[in-house]
Amino acid sequence: MSIPKVTTFLMFNGQAEEAIHTYVDAFEDAEILALVRYGEDDDAPTDYLQHAIFRLKDQVFMAIDNVNGMDIEMNPAMSLYVTVDNAMEMERLFSKLKDKGAILMPKTEMPPFREFSWLQDRFGVNWQLALPEK
């Protein structure tokens, strides 16, 4: 496995593994490549991720759990932009990512897109979903 020189890196407040499983379940072409939890000798909860690598479509991501004692929230100024292949994929991702999250921009036609939406998932990660016109 080759990791791109520039990779999106996400830090969660104790929910990294749950988030990764949510994303891998939402995307059809996705997989977890590595999960490393903190050990008994580490000064962190053993169910927290020390490091993780996962893939959504052709994009590799890294993630960790924050163990510094202060929650750090995601920022909507950065989002993950996804070009979907068809209306079924748009609906599946929209439904799964908005669950317990927030719709920042409802699905709408916005040329050059047949449908476009902006969501914040329950972990605070922001997603832009775009279905191009045919």
Mark whether 84 and 37 lie in a shared domain. no
Cβ contacts of 123 within 8 Å, gap of 6 or more: 12, 15, 18, 19, 22, 74, 101
Q: Map residue 44 onto helix, strand or coil.
A: coil
In a domain, 56, yes or no: yes
In a domain, 13, yes or no: yes
For 34-87, what is each residue's pLDDT tens digit? 999 999 999 999 999 999 999 999 999 999 999 998 999 998 899 999 999 999
Distance of CA 92 to the CA centre of its chain: 14
For 95-106, what is each residue's pLDDT tens digit? 999 999 999 999
For the whole model, what pTM was predicted? 0.93
- The tally of domains found in the chain comes to 2
In a domain, 73, yes or no: no
Burial class (CB in 10 A: 0-12, 13-18, 19+), 70: exposed
Range of the domain at 118: 80-132
User: Which of 40, 65, 90 marks a domain boundary?
Assistant: 65
Mark whether 87 and 58 lie in a shared domain. no
Mark whether 12 and 60 lie in a shared domain. yes
